Structure 1
Amino acid sequence: MAANDWHRIRARYADTTVTVYQAYSPRIGLPAARDGRFPAVWKRDRMTWIKPSFLWMMYRCGWGAKEGQETVLAVEISREGFEWALEQACLSEYVRSVHADRVEWRRSLKRAPTRVQWDPERDIRLRPLPYRALQLGLSGEAAGRYADEWITGIEDVTPLAHEIHALVRAGDLAAARALLPREEEYPEPAGLLDHLRT
């Protein structure tokens, strides 16, 4: 598999929006889904991670069973904002083929309002696959833009997560897969991820 195929964004998207996933405690997640924006208790001064992969989110939150991650949100954001975040991002770890040296990487990481991690994508049983899923961390200016400008809708998909998990546990993988959000290769503008592929 070529490096470009290894690091592809797979997501649910429309003409002007892309869906990312997060999981929160009910005190944050429920009002966010109800009001279409994060409540005041949501801390915009902390880094927040968004994930285009539904199954990677399920792996991270344990199908919405982990403490503090019981409410799974599908957050629809503007593609313009998403791509701005990727343009501004720095890889969260030093990669010799990408960075001149560790000093340059640390400087870039400190300045960047966003950071990227590439983690193994997951299958329906949450086992690692031989290609990567994007995690995008937002802080400072990026977190503020996310909360105030990019979000076009927030949906509580916890019931969907629980339904799919129940089918997986029952061994009905075909039915479980049929319920998964349809994710396709994101049509990235030329060069968008060149500084983020390892």
Structure 2
Amino acid sequence: MNEQAVPDEPRFRVRARYTDTTVTVYQAYRPEIGRAAARTGRFPAAWKRDRMTWIKPSFLWMMYRCGWGTKESQETVLAVEIDRAGFEWALRNACLSHHVPALHGDEAAWKRRLRQSPARVQWDPERDLHHNPLPHRSLQLGLAGEAAARYADEWLVGITDVTPLATEIHARVRAGEADRARALLPEERPYPVADGALAHLCA
């Protein structure tokens, strides 16, 4: 991820590390949950299925959110590899977390859709190595109910503890070694979605 604004980067675009069949998203948990998940490849019983869980395809946005794994209850950073079909199902069935009249009509209609949707989307400013906001947006995807259950039980392919990577990159940033820090970042590319697939999520 370049620290400078990319001239042709659209404001809304999913960027992620992905393969032909999987996409990697990031989450941060307290060690009792995060380490157990990385050890077994599954979320432990302490992981609450009845709570919304937010997944983030952007490594740097996750680092901004968890303070490079230093914030309380976010000390263990996980790279969660999930099925692309599941990820795209969540996008298709998501609702924006804020009301946009041009997309939703009146506020009551948006609230109804939000209640009925198993996923919700926020677009927050992407971040650079120093956590400065960039002009383009980063996807945050919230999963609840059916989506959270599918995430944990059907879409999950693998879980890796990337806290050591976060710590190393942070150390390079603090040492003023931006180029060396950037070279360690996971490669994220524009994620291919069908034309119009994000139309209900961009405004």
When normalised by structure 1's length, the TM-score is: 0.98
Count of aligned pairs = 197
In 2, the alpha carbon distance for the partners of 1:152 and 1:33 equals 12
Equivalent in the alignment of 1:15: 20
Equivalent in the alignment of 1:168: 173
Q: CA deviation at 1:97?
A: 2.0
Q: Does 1:6 align with 2:11?
A: yes
Per-residue CA deviations over 1:134-162 (Å, capped at 9, x if unaligned) read 00000000000000000100000000000
Task: Map 1:184-195 onto structure 2 (within 5 A).
Answer: 184-195=189-200
CA RMSD of aligned residues (A): 1.3
Task: Map 1:7-46 onto structure 2 (within 5 A).
Answer: 7-46=12-51
Match of 2:153 among 144, 148, 154: 148
Per-residue CA deviations over 1:119-148 (Å, capped at 9, x if unaligned) read 000001111000100000000000000000
Equivalent in the alignment of 1:74: 79
Equivalent in the alignment of 1:132: 137
Per-residue CA deviations over 1:57-116 (Å, capped at 9, x if unaligned) read 000000000000000000000000000000000000001221111011000000000000
Percent of residue pairs identical = 69
List runs of 5+ in structure 2 lacking aligned partners: 1-5
When normalised by structure 2's length, the TM-score is: 0.95
4+ runs of 1 displaced by more than 2 Å? Answer: none
In 1, the alpha carbon distance for the partners of 2:136 and 2:103 equals 19
Structure 2 SS opposite 1:27: helix
In 1, the alpha carbon distance for the partners of 2:181 and 2:152 equals 32
List runs of 5+ in structure 1 lacking aligned partners: none
Equivalent in the alignment of 2:112: 107
